A and B are shown apart, each in its own frame.
Chain A
């Protein structure tokens, strides 16, 4: 055929039910796979489903412990995930998302505790109905848990029901490890019943997800529709430029801002000239600045460390058994005071050498110290089961 290109090939198309070598296939091959890009909303739901299904059991056990009854717990988990749904950036980080849900449940627990306190004045206490199919969570356990302050309850549930490490608990609640330890310790002293039933809670995460999924359509989600698939680059070229500009502006603001305020007796130093000294103290529990230097300690180790504020030279001082951590420290008239949590041993020290000037036993688990003029005040915990003002006052 003039003017045309004719290609002739002797090729036989295999049957859709045969493989390349003519052997039958288990399933027909689809020649054209039509793929549709995942929408932003679908991607968000997938991410939410992934976090929800992976963490539902932990969240439900946690909420049940925090709120005291199963129905409230299930609702709290759903509501917390709906709030998470309104914060799309968190969905890209499952650990941050789960921590957010826990914190939301803690806040719900606090709100409920306040409401219940008001309600108790008006209504006689009536225990909630227990589902026979549920775990045998006794009223006593619930009552004991509900009597705990919210943060203590959160700590003990995470450590002993969810089996979180101290570090994981601290990260989730955004508190220090020392606080986790002290709050957990206090909680366990208050609890008289084992918490093991919570660990054997049964649940249907799939059914819970279906219920939540049905509520997503009516729930607000900021940036809905703007979410991109994960494969999208984190920043476009214009985004990189914007971030660079923002960093430069921030740096200028920091440097200029530091020189502007005069009412502060201390002068803020530009970031580049701040003094910084290494220490071997991690998870700092106490930190106080005395004329004799900076003193700090960690709950994990009953050691006081002094850092010279000029040279950075540090010295450590063992003050007790490793299990007897320092819970609080402060200064009064240049004297350093420190107290150990479990023994209540209070020491007054020379703030330069650390040598003990005087030692007193407060005979109670002590939480905090504060100086007022020449007086030293301390609070003690768990002295009795009845609420009380537990303030000790020592002479200066």
Chain B
């Protein structure tokens, strides 16, 4: 029996629910149950789900990458020495690339390279969206393109 789940992670790879204690994520739309126990329980921060991975950007300066099929943790990436305790405001996955918005920055990570590859500074993005027009961030009073189609 699941505890009270009321967070539904927006996803193109299944329907995932997170429990209120932010300790685990569970896929609920398939007979094949996948449960992800967070490496940092209670610090889930922002969650983004791609076709093959689930990423959890936490408030401890790190991005945890999990296999969406098995639920196994695959890698852990760092935001950087200056961002060890920042809280992310949004996260998005686009293929191999993960975007994490933190105050004043949008960080870009490569899952394959297991590394941060760019830092777009000066942006206070509140929401990220991946869609037909590319990757966009919504800030307070504007929309900004992060990556083009």
Complex interface: chain A residues within 8 A of B16 (CB): 370
B129 to chain A, nearest CB (A): 4
Find out whether the CB atom of B97 lies under 8 angstroms from the CB atom of A176.
Answer: no
**A381 and chain B: residue at smallest CB distance:** B6
Contact of B8 with A368 in the complex, beta carbons under 8 Å: yes
A-B contact pairs, 15 of them (CB 8 A): A149-B21, A261-B113, A264-B95, A265-B94, A266-B97, A266-B135, A274-B120, A278-B142, A284-B139, A288-B129, A289-B129, A290-B132, A389-B2, A391-B8, A391-B17
Q: Say whether A296 contacts B43, CB under 8 Å.
A: no
Known: A264-B97, A280-B141, A377-B29. A370 touches B15 (CB 8 A): yes
Task: Given A261-B117, A289-B131, A296-B138, answer yes or no on A267-B148 (Cβ-Cβ < 8 Å).
Answer: yes
Residue interface mask A266-286, B partner, CB < 8 A = 1: 111101001111111111111
Question: Contact residue range for chain A?
Answer: 35 or more
Write out the residue numbers on chain B whose beta carbons fall within 8 Å of the beta carbon of A283. Answer: 126, 140
Q: Complex Cα distance A173/B23, Å?
A: 19
- Chain B residues positioned under 8 Å from A288 (CB to CB): 129, 131
Per-residue interface assignment for chain B, residues 93 to 118, with 1 indicating a CB less than 8 Å from any chain A CB and 0 otherwise: 01111000001000010101100011
Complex CA gap A307/B138 in Å reads 11
Q: How far is the CA of A289 from the CA of B42 in the complex (A)?
A: 30
Question: Known: A291-B132, A390-B6. Is A176-B126 also a contact (CB below 8 A)?
Answer: yes
A199 proximity list for chain B (CB < 8 A): none
With A149-B20, A271-B120, A387-B3 in contact, is A309–B133 under 8 Å at CB?
A: yes
B89 CB-CB contact with A under 8 Å: yes
Task: Say yes or no: is A318 at the interface (Cβ < 8 Å to chain B).
Answer: no
Let me know if B33 is at the binding interface, CB within 8 A: no
- Given A110-B21, A294-B133, A389-B5, the answer on whether A250 and B121 have CB atoms closer than 8 Å is yes
Bound CA–CA A331/B12 (angstroms) = 11
Q: Is the interface of A mostly helix, strand, loop or mixed?
A: mixed
Please tell me which one of the listed residues B5, B112, B129 contacts residue A263 in the complex, with CB atoms under 8 A apart. B112
- On A, residues with C-beta under 8 Å from B are 100, 103, 107, 110-111, 113-114, 117, 149-150, 173-176, 186, 250, 253-254, 257-258, 260-261, 263-269, 271, 274-291, 293-294, 296, 307, 309, 330-331, 367-372, 375, 377-381, 387-391
C-alpha gap A263/B15 in the complex (Å): 24
- What's the nearest-Cβ distance from chain A to residue B80, in Å? 11
Specify which chain B residues have a CB less than 8 angstroms from the CB of A379 in the assembled complex: 5-8, 17
- Judging by beta carbons under 8 Å apart, are B28 and A391 in contact? yes
In the complex, the answer to whether A367 meets B8 with C-beta atoms within 8 Å is yes
A110 to B56, CA, bound (A): 18
> Is there a chain A Cβ closer than 8 Å to B75's Cβ?
no
- Chain B residue numbers with a CB within 8 Å of A267 are 147-149
Taking the closest CB of chain B, its distance from the CB of A84, in whole angstroms, is 11
Q: Contacts A268-B108, A281-B141, A367-B7 hold; do A377 and B127 have CB atoms under 8 A apart?
A: no
